[in-house]
A and B are shown apart, each in its own frame.
Chain A
Amino acid sequence: MRRLAAIALCLLALAPPLAAQSNTAEMLQRAKGLYEQVEVEQALVLLRQIISPASPYVVSPEQRVEAYKYLGASLALQQGQVKRDSAVTYFRAALERDPFVDLEPQSFSPGQLAAFAEARNRTFAAAIRPPRLDTLVPGTGQITLQALTTHVARLRVELRAADGASRVLYDGENDGLREVRWDGLLGDGALAPAGRMELDVIGESRLVRLTDTATVYLDITRLHPPLEDTLPLLGTGDLLPEQYPTSVATGNLLKGLGVAVGALFIQAALSSGDLGGGSLLLSGAVGGAGALTGILSFSARQRDRGIPANIAENARRRADREGRNVAIRERNAERLRQTRLLVAPATGGAR
């Protein structure tokens, strides 16, 4: 029951604005009907009600722009400079709220178009339309973006990534609507990064000393097959030691001395005393060789502790890893070459 009650309350809370917007839409529709039937005075009444601050109904920005547009158009049909000036004023109000507002030449008279043109000349705004959700193949495909200045101006349209990379899509003279195309690449030829991008327009009027800017945000998503991770750097556990510990030199010395002592021990202690012992010449030769080998080995290991076999094996492992990473990078590059960009108008605030 509580849940039902909550839902009912929500519906009640939502109902009045919906009804109000609906009323505004009906009024706007009726005003347009009266305008088309050349019942201009009656149309003006309804349109003024819509834009009035005292209007009891919610008026959306689009409805307000439409009301101003038809107010201007209705007044432009009437005789007199005052009416025309008012028409221009209402057209300007519409343009200030939506620079993209326009009069279709086939639906409006030359006088109305002239008043609207004057309004455009006296009002300066630069604007950009958020793009529609679209995908493109970078480099070959294109999406179209619409920028506008209300009258003759220098226009610059620039796309910026979060990391500072940018692409100027247009920089030059402009009057009215301009369609610019973007192929998904940045100024340096790189693919646009995934994430949020900023699309800026800067207009510098040639008629009045005004500059206007506008910004919309795009969310870029890269669509491509999943990429492989490259192999991590080889850690200490993956590599063989490339140097002998310092104890190795001492160990070699002790081994050489051990052989020397062993030879002399055999000759001195294990030979028969009854036979006069053993020959020191014979054992001494091996003893000397053992001691010399130990000393030389000790010295060699002190000078050069490198382990050539391990160094070569580690180099082979590093080369193997690099080779596999090169292959992975090539496969990833191939997958990235298949990348398509999903371009969507941003929702939420700028990141």
Chain B
Amino acid sequence: MNRATWGTGAVLALALGCVPAPAYAQVGIRAVGVVALAEHRVNAGRGVEQASGTLLGAEGKLLIGSRMEVFVHAAGGQLNADSASADDRHVAEAEVRAAVLTVPWLALHAGVSARSYTTTLARQRWIAVRFGGEVRLAFVGGGVTGILRAEILPSVAVSGLERPNRAYAAGAGLEYRFGAVAVGVRYALERFDFPMVAGFARAEQMSSLTLHAGLELGGR
């Protein structure tokens, strides 16, 4: 990771730390179940290995006052090999991040995520620090919000591998509110570019289409 990436992350973390706690917080909570169609692609020098499958999980969001949020995510499932060189793998992932709404339509966040890929031969663990922002486009006159998200991952630790020299994530989605019921759909992509080792640069990418549905009580 270069210094600029870390610097950007530090600024985001500082912004989060400087947010004053509300004098008396109005607390809300969201709990949703998620179903994700995930696709994992990796090129470790043997051509593009592709695997895809369905992940199931849950997400929760704690809304504190009008400006703070804490988000947690956990999902897991089986990715089946789509190419001859790929292996079936089990994926488990978790993420926690804290966000602050600098303005109602922009949330800046920082968090940590962990993921493991388990095959019959080995288990690979990923841990990443994430900084990013989320633009929330509230549709006027309805409970619909468009979301555009971008993140940098300045520190990614992968068991058995060098740290990637470039890692980022982005996403776009929609959330629909019907009273306390919240449903949504989002597309997300994570990309990791590893440094050249023995004349080859490993590349990895995880993309997903996630549907979620659940309840949101209280809060904003």
Within the complex, which residue of B168, B205, B209 is in contact with A285, where a contact is CB–CB below 8 Å? B209
Tell me if A244 is interfacial: C-beta within 8 Å of chain B: yes
A271–B43 CA distance with the chains assembled, in angstroms = 13
Within the complex, which residue of B43, B50, B142 is in contact with A274, where a contact is CB–CB below 8 Å? B43
A242–B28 CA distance with the chains assembled, in angstroms = 29
Tell me if B187 is interfacial: C-beta within 8 Å of chain A: yes
Interface residues of B in 165-220 (CB under 8 A from A): 168, 170-174, 185-187, 189, 191, 193, 201, 203-205, 207-209
5 extra interface residue pairs, beta carbon distance < 8 Å, beyond A260-B172, A282-B37, A286-B173: A270-B189, A278-B189, A279-B39, A293-B174, A297-B139
- Say yes or no: B148 contacts A258, CB within 8 Å: yes
The interface residues of chain B lying within 8 Å CB-to-CB of A93 are none
Place the interface of chain A in its size category.
Answer: 20 to 34
What is the distance, in angstroms, from B109's C-beta to the closest C-beta of chain A?
18
Tell me if B146 is interfacial: C-beta within 8 Å of chain A: yes
A307–B142 CA distance with the chains assembled, in angstroms = 10
- Say yes or no: A272 contacts B205, CB within 8 Å: yes
Tell me if A276 is interfacial: C-beta within 8 Å of chain B: yes
Within the complex, which residue of A255, A282, A287 is in contact with B137, where a contact is CB–CB below 8 Å? A255
Selected interface stretch from A47-55, A62-70, A219-227, A261-269: A261-269
- Say yes or no: A255 contacts B187, CB within 8 Å: no
The interface residues of chain A lying within 8 Å CB-to-CB of B144 are 293, 297
A204–B140 CA distance with the chains assembled, in angstroms = 80
Of B137, B172, B191, the most chain A CB neighbours within 10 A belong to B172
Tell me if A289 is interfacial: C-beta within 8 Å of chain B: yes
A267–B185 CA distance with the chains assembled, in angstroms = 15
The interface residues of chain A lying within 8 Å CB-to-CB of B29 are none
Tell me if A301 is interfacial: C-beta within 8 Å of chain B: yes
Tell me if A12 is interfacial: C-beta within 8 Å of chain B: no
- Say yes or no: B146 contacts A285, CB within 8 Å: no
Within the complex, which residue of A272, A278, A301 is in contact with B141, where a contact is CB–CB below 8 Å? A301
The interface residues of chain A lying within 8 Å CB-to-CB of B204 are 275
Do A252 and B172 form a contact, CB below 8 Å, given A270-B191, A275-B43? Answer: no
- Say yes or no: B37 contacts A244, CB within 8 Å: no
- Say yes or no: A255 contacts B146, CB within 8 Å: yes
The interface residues of chain A lying within 8 Å CB-to-CB of B146 are 255-256, 258-259, 290, 293
Chain B 115-133 against A: per-residue CB contact (8 Å), 1 yes, 0 no?
A: 0000000000000000000
What is the distance, in angstroms, from A21's C-beta to the closest C-beta of chain B?
88
- Residues of B whose CB lies within 8 Å of any CB of A are 37, 39, 41-43, 48, 50, 52, 137, 139-142, 144, 146-148, 168, 170-174, 185-187, 189, 191, 193, 201, 203-205, 207-209
Do A290 and B140 form a contact, CB below 8 Å, given A258-B146, A270-B189, A271-B205? Answer: no
- Say yes or no: B205 contacts A252, CB within 8 Å: no
What is the distance, in angstroms, from A323's C-beta to the closest C-beta of chain B?
30
Tell me if A210 is interfacial: C-beta within 8 Å of chain B: no
- Say yes or no: A286 contacts B186, CB within 8 Å: yes
Chain A, Cβ-Cβ closest to B166: A272
- Say yes or no: B209 contacts A286, CB within 8 Å: yes
- Say yes or no: B172 contacts A259, CB within 8 Å: yes
Within the complex, which residue of B141, B170, B201 is in contact with A266, where a contact is CB–CB below 8 Å? B170
Tell me if A33 is interfacial: C-beta within 8 Å of chain B: no
Tell me if A283 is interfacial: C-beta within 8 Å of chain B: yes
What is the distance, in angstroms, from A134's C-beta to the closest C-beta of chain B?
66
Do A297 and B142 form a contact, CB below 8 Å, given A259-B174, A275-B205, A290-B174? Answer: yes
What is the distance, in angstroms, from A313's C-beta to the closest C-beta of chain B?
15
- Say yes or no: A285 contacts B207, CB within 8 Å: no
- Say yes or no: A272 contacts B37, CB within 8 Å: no
Tell me if A165 is interfacial: C-beta within 8 Å of chain B: no
Tell me if A139 is interfacial: C-beta within 8 Å of chain B: no
The interface residues of chain A lying within 8 Å CB-to-CB of B52 are 279
The interface residues of chain A lying within 8 Å CB-to-CB of B193 are 272
What is the distance, in angstroms, from B48's C-beta to the closest C-beta of chain A?
5
Within the complex, which residue of B148, B168, B186, B205 is in contact with A278, where a contact is CB–CB below 8 Å? B205
A281–B43 CA distance with the chains assembled, in angstroms = 21
Do A272 and B41 form a contact, CB below 8 Å, given A286-B186, A286-B209, A301-B140? Answer: yes
The interface residues of chain A lying within 8 Å CB-to-CB of B174 are 256, 259, 286, 289-290, 293
The interface residues of chain A lying within 8 Å CB-to-CB of B140 are 244, 248, 251-252, 301
Do A267 and B139 form a contact, CB below 8 Å, given A285-B209, A289-B174? Answer: no
Do A252 and B139 form a contact, CB below 8 Å, given A262-B148, A266-B187? Answer: yes
Chain A, Cβ-Cβ closest to B142: A297
A106–B148 CA distance with the chains assembled, in angstroms = 113
A290–B148 CA distance with the chains assembled, in angstroms = 11
The interface residues of chain B lying within 8 Å CB-to-CB of A272 are 41, 191, 193, 203, 205
- Say yes or no: A259 contacts B148, CB within 8 Å: yes
Tell me if A300 is interfacial: C-beta within 8 Å of chain B: yes
Closest 5 A/B residue pairs (Cβ): A262-B172, A286-B187, A263-B172, A282-B209, A259-B146
A248–B209 CA distance with the chains assembled, in angstroms = 29
